[in-house]
Amino acid sequence: GNSVTQMEGPVTLSEEAFLTINCTYTATGYPSLFWYVQYPGEGLQLLLKATKADDKGSNKGFEATYRKETTSFHLEKGSVQVSDSAVYFCALTPNNNAGNMLTFGGGTRLMVKP
Amino acid sequence: DTGVSQDPRHKITKRGQNVTFRCDPISEHNRLYWYRQTLGQGPEFLTYFQNEAQLEKSRLLSDRFSAERPKGSFSTLEIQRTEQGDSAMYLCASSHLDPFFGPGTRLTVL
């Protein structure tokens, strides 16, 4: 079946540091890949996505590249801010026209200190 | 506000009671999903509707759980005879292409 594995947190960084959160996946075919963010007390928000190999999704300074050869979709940001503190979820949908339900990773908590 | 809304936001109930949650999706979205998220974990898929038809149910959805989407608009999720293990955040999402999530209903079973 489909699965998503994320690096365990928490990840603690100082403001303006470089961020990488690793995500690898197992899926048949050509899934779409997503990063969702969950701020404290709020619901999941779509951060970025990529739908085919070598696509780069980007939003709010975050980016991730769909690497089919390594089955990875690592999230990066060049300079984090305190306001980026949240839980980040990597997810996939199978693109099999059967409903495209999301399979999520376990989440990675990011804490950014001033 | 044209996002996905859920009601109530919080529910505390005693073991054995029945509870019902409501989700109002984004109006033009024909797909609606329910997920469950326990503390420190990623959301897990429960069930999926396309318009009013329930097309997929996870094995996580025991026979105490039932979901409906009677007119292809709002949806309800009912849990009968609640157990302490049902305590979780219940998330609703709707989509035309990409899923958009509501704020969730946090259920606490005492």
The 10s digit of each residue's pLDDT in B1-28 is 579 999 999 999 999 999 999 999 999 8
**Looking at residue A97, what is its pLDDT?**
61
Report the DSSP beta bridge partners of residue A33. Answer: A50, A92
d(CA A38, CA B68): 27
**Looking at residue B72, what is its pLDDT?**
84
Provide the pLDDT confidence category of residue A106 given band limits of 50, 70 and 90.
Answer: very high
Report the DSSP beta bridge partners of residue A63. Answer: A58, A76
CB-nearest to B48 from A42, A99, A104 is: A99
Percent of chain A with pLDDT over 70: 96
CB-nearest to A104 from B31, B42, B56 is: B42
Give A-chain residues touching B44 at CB under 8 angstroms.
104
Report B:46-105 residues touching A (Cβ under 8 A). 48, 50, 55-56, 91, 93, 95, 98-104
Quick: pLDDT tens for B51-110: 999 998 998 888 999 999 998 899 999 999 999 999 999 999 999 888 899 999 999 999
Q: Is the pLDDT of residue A96 over 70?
A: no
CA distance to A7, A27, A36, A102, B58, per residue, from A95 (Å): 25, 10, 18, 10, 18
CA distance to A16, A57, B30, B63, B86, per residue, from B52 (Å): 48, 33, 9, 20, 25
Provide the pLDDT confidence category of residue A30 given band limits of 50, 70 and 90.
Answer: confident
d(CA B5, CA A9): 30
Instruction: Name residues whose C-beta falls within 8 Å of residue A44's C-beta, 6 or more positions apart in sequence.
Output: A36, A37, A38, A89, B43, B91, B93, B101
b/e map of B3-35 (b: 16 or more CB within 10 Å)? ebbbeeeebebeeeeebebebbbbeebebbbbb
Give B-chain residues touching A46 at CB under 8 angstroms.
98-100
**Looking at residue A29, what is its pLDDT?**
83
Q: Inspect the interface and report whether the beta carbons of A4 and B42 lie closer than 8 Å.
A: yes
For residues A52-63, average pLDDT: 96
Quick: pLDDT tens for B34-44: 999 998 899 99
Q: Inspect the interface and report whether the beta carbons of B98 and A42 lie closer than 8 Å.
A: no
Q: Inspect the interface and report whether the beta carbons of A44 and B56 lie closer than 8 Å.
A: no
**Looking at residue B1, what is its pLDDT?**
53
